Structures are given as structure tokens and as C-alpha cells.
Amino acid sequence: MTEEALFAFEGDAIRVTLDLRVYRLTAIKKAAYRVADRCTAMLQSPSEHELPVLFTFKAGASKESAITSVRAFYQELLDQELREEVAEETGPMRALILAHAFSKTDLIRRE
Amino acid sequence: MTLQAPFKPREQFRPSPIYRLAPFRFGRFDERRYVATNDVGEYVILEREELVALCRRRLTPTSPLYRALKVRHFLFDEDSDCALDLLALKYRTRAERVAAFTGLHIFVVTLRCDHSCHYCQVSRQTEDRAAFDMTPAHADRALDLVFRSPSPQIKIEFQGGEPLLNFALIRHIVHRAEAINAHHRKDLRFVIATNLSRLTDEMLKFCKDHDIYFSTSLDGPEELHNTHRPLRGGNSYAATLEGIRRVREQLGPHHVSALMTTTPRSLGQIEAILEEYVRHGFHSAFLRSLSPYGFAVRTSLVRKYDVADWLDFYRRGLAYILDLNRRGYPFREEYTAIVLQKMFSPQGASYVDLQSPAGIGIAAIIYNYDGGVYASDEGRMLAEMGDFAFRLGHLDTDSYETMMTSDALLGPLEDSLLESSPMCSDCPYLPFCGADPVFHRATQGDAVGHKAFSAFCKKQTGVVHHILALLEDNPEARSILMSWV
């Protein structure tokens, strides 16, 4: 199947459906933010496990460049999902390291 | 009596198969590799499969990658007794600068200037308008604020316009600062940012007596320099070189440094620009891009090239500089050296434009010619364009406490912290970058800015990526770059 067939074109826009059991909403939002210079991702109301996303592109963008942008979004989404995993596991430790780093200074006001 | 064994048994040294992840960030480095960094500036380049294996705890404890990640605090296991202490210590060391507070104090002693540079960012005024000079009363009031800073190092930088046009005030400030410092005993230094055209023997003698440094502009070969920096009734290039020669002769070779500004005209001439620096005995250059303030905006100069053009210019310049070093002429590029400091020095780098929290106010502060106090040099440049967002107050009416706790300072400081900015918070280059709220205010209208559209972000990630690529893939370049740290 060609890439073009994988993405549903609606005029100049591309509609995809993301499975929320695979990708966290936070990761989807962060990936959308990161590719904002290439396309605008409009997140729509989710159904139980599915989130429809409509991508629009700059005026005059070719079909090929539109597909490249959506592909970049998917690649970014994988990275963001992995980042969420790492952050979930290491978040408390980051807070602990920072607290430990400044524990012997007089910068922390003790109530 | 039982003798204690002098060494632990062999099994004590067997790597543990169980490990935990320490906090880190990662991002794509090239087609097949990723770069991962942590909060203390350690980095590792690895394949995506290795990254996934790290996150899913599938790394073999005996593998070189496992050891590299462990040594750099990306993971820790049962053997890592002091990993947390070490990480905390390294983090605290990098953050010490924030607590030290404002070290750079810029006095705009006049806005008058004898040059009419096309890219001037400070909207200079003609020479004969004394209304654009700072008064001694404002200078004294500013000095009171300078010594309120807890920083043990204080650098007073004189800027303009052309500061030598108000040398009487420089003299006054130096004398008074030294007198106040007799009590405070701080490490007090002075630097004059000048085009050197008005340098007299009397000024040189004063600067020698007070160990004052000079920073000047040399934009390249004569034609390029003079096109950029027209001097009414004179030759800026000749005046600058003559000034450099006299400062070196009177104060020593290290008392004058030079930097250049890149215009569209410079882009094709990087080799000639650097040759000019070598010909005049310099061992460093600072490849600066244009800033979106002042005449650079009014003349639309800033829109005539983009970040990709400047990055190409920078990469060619760095290649030329590395080649100079290979041929036995020690030379360094200052912006690269700053990024390398951030990568490899325990304290990071003191360069105010690459700090998080941003350096505005808390690393550098500006006392303008009219008594206005600004959070950064670019903040006063923005004010000359009618945007007073970074004006902290006025020397006549506002106290140190009022200004240092003003919304104009605390607002952008809090908002632009990289660790909580969208895109920056998970960017692997965060430890080598900084927040630039003034740039983003000037270009996007708010202090944080959307980094997907940010020229600052593109420039900084482009520079860091190039340096990392050289460090990783070019051993000869690596050994030269490491000598700059």
C-alpha cells in the first residue's frame, strides 16, 4: 500500500485516526506542537479509544510535502511516547536530585 | 583474632543486571542516531535500538554502552552508591551562578556616536547632542546599585554609542567604583566596548593605570569593514587597527579583543574575514549573527539572510579555524568555546545570553544614558524601538528592591525558564542552550516564543548539533575543540 493510500486526504487536508491505547494524549499534543512550523494539527473530540486529527498545510504545499509532514509527526510521536515513559519513571527522581542539590544551601525557605 | 580480607570477593564486582533510569532527555541526532543528555550536561550518542533497549532495561551490564551510560549518570544500579550525591553535587555546581547574581553591569555613558553602522542595534545619535550623555548623578546612583549585587565578581562594561565620546564620565565611574570597592573588596574589572577611533594617549594612560580592557569591532577586510561601519570624515578600518596596535603596545596584547557582525555582505567572505584576524595577530574571533533590534530592523538588514545562511557561514568559518589550528596557528571561535564550556566545564559558561533562568537582570543589568534601568542590553535596544517591556525602572525614582522584584523582570524570568518551556523542556540540547526572552519578545511578541518558529532555537540547535558531530565523528577536530575548554 502506498503512503498516499494510508492517509485520507480531505481536500488539501489529511485526516488520521490515532489509537489512544497506543499513544498518550500528552505525547500527541507535544508532537503536534513540535511540527507546528510544517503543519497545523487539529485534534478533534475523541471517541472511546480513537482520536481523529486533521492536518492542514501552508497554502500551496504539495501532496508530497504534506505526506512528509504527517510522516514527521508520526516519527515525533514515537519519540514523544518514549519520552513520556522516561519522564514517568524518572520524574520523582529529578525532583529528589534538585531538592538534594540545594538541601545544604540557604536558598530554601524553611517554614 | 580474625584477619579481615584485604579485598572484597570477586562476586562483589559482578555488574548487577538490574538498573534504574536516571532523568534524561533525548532527540534525533541524524538519520540513525539519537543524542541523549542529562541535567548536568553529560551526553551520549546512540542508535535508536540502543535507546529503546536502555529505556526497556534490556542493556547488558557488561556492554561498553552500559558502562558509558552509567559513568555519565543516565542509569544507576546496585553498585552506584554515590550516584545521587554526585548528580546533586554536579547540578548544584552548575546552578551556583544563579545564586551569585548580577556580575555584569553595563553603563551606557552616551548614545552619541561618530559611526553610522547599518546594523547598529542601539539607535545611536549624532555626536553633538549632549542630551544623550549619562549624567554623573545617574552614574553615582547606578554604582550604588552595582554594589548591592552579592556577586563576588563585578564587571563594569562601558557602552554607547561610542563611550570614548564621554570619557570624563568613564573616568569618574572608575574612580568612584574603585573607592567603593575598597570596602567591598570584590573582583572588580572594567571593559570599554569601543570603535577606538577617539582613543587618545591620555585615555590609554588612564586605562593602563586602572587595568581597563577594550572590546572592539573588526568586521573583516578594509572594504567590508568600512562598508559596514562608515566613519564620518574618516576610515574606520584604519582607525580601529591603529587603536588595536596602540592598546597592545601600551597595555599588552591581551587587553584588546575583537568581534564581528555578520551581514549579507559577509556571508561569502568568511575565509577573508578570518585571514584578517590572523594577519593582525588575533587568536580568536566571535562569529555573531545580526540581532533583530535598532537600525538592523529599520534598514531591513536583519531579514536579508536567514538562520540557514548564518549556519552555513558559521560551519565554513569553524572548518577554516580548525584548519588554522592544524597548521599550527592557535585560534578559537568564541561562540563555539562558550558552548564547549557549557558541555564540559563543571560550572557551565558565564555567557549571559545562554542561561536558564535567562541572564536578564540576574546575570547582567543595564544603566541607560537617561537613567532608565533595563534587564538586558537587548532590552534597552527594544526600548529604543518603543517597546519598554524590559525596563525595570529609573535611577531617580525606583529602588534596587523595586526593580529586582518588578514584574518586568520576574515575569519573563519565570515564563522563559527552559525547564518548563514547551519544546525546550524535552530538548536534548537544553543543558547547552539558554532562554532569550528579549529575542522572542522582539520576534514573536512574547517572552517564551513558539520554538518551532524560533530563529534563536534553529541557530542554537544548529550550532550545538554541529559541534557534537565534530566531537563524535572527527577525532582531530575533537582534540582541537577540547583544547578550547
Q: Is A57 helix (H, G, I), strand (E, B) or coil?
A: strand
**B77 lies in a domain?**
yes
Residue matched to cell numbers 575543540: B481
Q: What is the pLDDT of residue B371?
A: 97
Q: Would an 8 Å CB–CB cutoff place A100 in contact with chain B?
A: yes
* pLDDT beyond 70 at B11: no
pLDDT 10s digits, B426-449:
999 999 999 999 999 999 999 999
Q: Would an 8 Å CB–CB cutoff place A108 in contact with chain B?
A: no
Query: Amino acid letter at A53?
Result: V
* pLDDT beyond 60 at A1: no
Split at pLDDT 50, 70, 90, the class of A14 is very high
Residues 6+ apart with CB under 8 A from B92: A101, A102, A105
Q: What is the pLDDT of residue A109?
A: 52
Number of domains in chain B: 2
Q: Are residues B79 and B116 in the same domain?
A: no
Q: What is the pLDDT of residue B409?
A: 93
The end-to-end CA distance of chain B, in Å, is 54
Chain B nearest C-alpha distance from A7 (Å) = 23
**Would the CB atoms of B453 and A94 count as touching at under 8 Å?**
no
Q: What is the pLDDT of residue B17?
A: 65
Least CA distance to A77: which residue of chain B? B27
Q: Are residues B81 and B158 in the same domain?
A: no
Q: Which of A33, A75, A96 sits opposite B452 (nearest CB)?
A: A33
Chain B residues near residue A100 by CB distance under 8 angstroms: 84-85, 88
pLDDT 10s digits, B250-277:
999 999 999 999 999 999 999 999 999 9
Give the cell for residue B145.
546599585
Q: Distances in Å between the alpha carbon of A105 and those of B46, B68, B93, B317, B435?
A: 36, 31, 12, 43, 25
Q: Are residues B239 and B381 in the same domain?
A: yes
**B49 lies in a domain?**
yes
Q: Would an 8 Å CB–CB cutoff place A34 in contact with chain B?
A: yes
Query: CATH assignment of A3-101?
Result: 3.30.70.60
**Would the CB atoms of B423 and A96 count as touching at under 8 Å?**
no
Q: What is the pLDDT of residue B188?
A: 98
Q: Would an 8 Å CB–CB cutoff place B80 in contact with chain A?
A: no
| Cβ atoms < 10 Å from Cβ of A21 | 9
**B302 lies in a domain?**
yes
Q: What percent of chain B has pLDDT over 90?
A: 78
pLDDT 10s digits, B307-336:
999 999 999 999 999 999 999 999 999 999
Q: What is the mean pLDDT of residues B19-45?
A: 95
Integer Cα distance of B347 and B258 in angstroms:
25
Q: What is the pLDDT of residue B126?
A: 67
Chain B residues near residue A37 by CB distance under 8 angstroms: 452-453
**B73 lies in a domain?**
yes
Q: Are residues B59 and B148 in the same domain?
A: no
Read off the pTM: 0.90
Q: Are residues B358 and B218 in the same domain?
A: yes
Q: Are residues B266 and B367 in the same domain?
A: yes
Q: What is the pLDDT of residue B481?
A: 98
Q: What percent of chain A has pLDDT over 70?
A: 87
Q: Where are the domains of chain A?
A: 3-101
Q: What is the pLDDT of residue B236?
A: 96
Split at pLDDT 50, 70, 90, the class of A106 is low
| Range of the structural domain that residue B366 is part of | 100-284+291-326+352-403
Split at pLDDT 50, 70, 90, the class of A20 is very high
The interface residues of chain B toward chain A in range 443-472, judged by CB-CB distance below 8 A, are 450, 452-453
The interface residues of chain A toward chain B in range 40-69, judged by CB-CB distance below 8 A, are none
Q: Are B432 and B341 in contact (CB under 8 A)?
A: no
Last residue of a domain, one of B95, B120, B154: B95
Torsion angles phi and psi, residue B223, rounded to 5: -65, -45
* pLDDT beyond 70 at B185: yes
* pLDDT beyond 60 at A83: yes
pLDDT 10s digits, A61-70:
999 999 999 9
Q: Are residues B214 and B277 in the same domain?
A: yes
Q: Are B444 and B454 in contact (CB under 8 A)?
A: yes
Chain B nearest C-alpha distance from A10 (Å) = 25
Last residue of a domain, one of B50, B69, B95: B95
Q: Are residues B251 and B187 in the same domain?
A: yes
Q: Are residues B151 and B74 in the same domain?
A: no
Q: Would an 8 Å CB–CB cutoff place A26 in contact with chain B?
A: no
Best mutation target, A69, A97, A104, to test chain B (most B CBs within 10 A): A97
* pLDDT beyond 90 at B98: no
Burial label for B86, CB within 10 Å (0-12, 13-18, 19+), is middle
Q: What is the pLDDT of residue B123?
A: 63
**What's B371's domain CATH number?**
3.20.20.70
Q: Are residues B193 and B251 in the same domain?
A: yes
Q: What is the mean pLDDT of residues B81-87?
A: 83
Q: Which of A85, A98, A101 sits opposite B55 (nearest CB)?
A: A85
Q: What is the pLDDT of residue B349?
A: 87
Q: Are residues B76 and B162 in the same domain?
A: no
Chain B residues near residue A30 by CB distance under 8 angstroms: 422, 426
Give the cell for residue B459.
541557530
**Would the CB atoms of A37 and B51 count as touching at under 8 Å?**
no
Q: Would an 8 Å CB–CB cutoff place B87 in contact with chain A?
A: yes
Chain A nearest C-alpha distance from B301 (Å) = 24
Q: What is the pLDDT of residue A103?
A: 73
Q: How many CA atoms, within 13 angstroms, populate the side-chain half-sphere of residue B175?
A: 8
Q: What is the mean pLDDT of residues B144-165?
A: 95
Q: What percent of chain B has pLDDT over 70?
A: 93
Q: What is the mean pLDDT of residues B50-60?
A: 94
Q: Are residues B64 and B118 in the same domain?
A: no
Q: Which of A36, A86, A91 sits opposite B55 (nearest CB)?
A: A86
**A–B interface: beta-carbon pairs under 8 A:** 69
Q: Are B260 and B286 in contact (CB under 8 A)?
A: yes
**Would the CB atoms of B39 and A91 count as touching at under 8 Å?**
no
Q: What is the pLDDT of residue B83?
A: 81
Q: What is the pLDDT of residue B14?
A: 62
**B384 lies in a domain?**
yes
For B243-379, list the strands marked E by DSSP.
256-261, 284-285, 287-288, 332-333, 364-367, 372-374
Split at pLDDT 50, 70, 90, the class of A94 is confident
pLDDT 10s digits, B361-402:
999 999 999 999 999 999 998 998 899 999 999 999 999 999
Give the cell for residue B91.
547540578
